Amino acid sequence: MDELSRLMHIVPSRRILLLPHCLRHSNSCKAKYDEEGLQCIHCNPECSVNRLSTAAAAYGYGGICVAPGGKLAIKYISKKRPEAIVAIACDKELEEGVQGVKEIKRDDNIPIPLMVIIPLLKDGCVDTEVDETAALEAIRTGCPQAPVSSSSAK
C-alpha cells in the first residue's frame, strides 16, 4: 500500500504539515519566527506557504510547521507526536528529516509516523517552488470535509 492510501486511514487531527520557510516570497513575506518556526500571517495570496497552510488548517490538521531547517521540524514532530506527516522540502532536508524521525523513535519508543514526502521542484534555499497540485492532493487525502475557502486552497 502506498503512502497516500495509508494516509486515508489517519484522521487529519493526527497529521501535521511540514513546510520549508524557503517557499515563502522572501521579498514580501511579513511573517515572524517563533520557537515553532515561521508563523504565516497569510499576507500574500500567491504564496505557497499561505495556500498550503490554509488548506491544511481547513482540513483540520493537528499542526503546521514552517521550518527554517530540519532540526526545528524534528523538535516539532517530537512535541506533536503525529501519526502522519506530510512533508515538503528539498532532497537534503527530506533525507535528514527521515533520519531524524527514525531517531525520535529510538529515543522514546514512539512509533515512526507515516511520512508522505513531496520534494521541491526548484530548490536553492530562497523562493523555492513545489507542485502545489500534488501537495494539495496529499494534504486532502482522506479528509472528510472540504476546505472552508476554496479560493485560498488553489
User: pLDDT digits over 104-143, tens only?
Assistant: 876 667 777 888 889 998 878 888 899 999 999 999 999 9
Indicate the pTM of the whole model. Answer: 0.88
Q: Which CATH number does 3-142 carry?
A: 3.40.50
Q: What b-and-e string marks burial along 48-72, b requiring 16 or more CB atoms within 10 Å of the CB?
A: bbbbbbbbbbbbebbbbbbbebbeb
Domain-wise residue ranges, the chain: 3-142
pLDDT of residue 125: 84
User: pLDDT digits over 92-114, tens only?
Assistant: 888 888 888 888 876 667 777 88
Contacts for 104 with CB less than 8 Å, ≥ 6 apart: 74, 77, 78, 110, 112
User: CA 57, CA 71: separation in Å to the nearest integer?
Assistant: 23
26's grid cell = 522572501
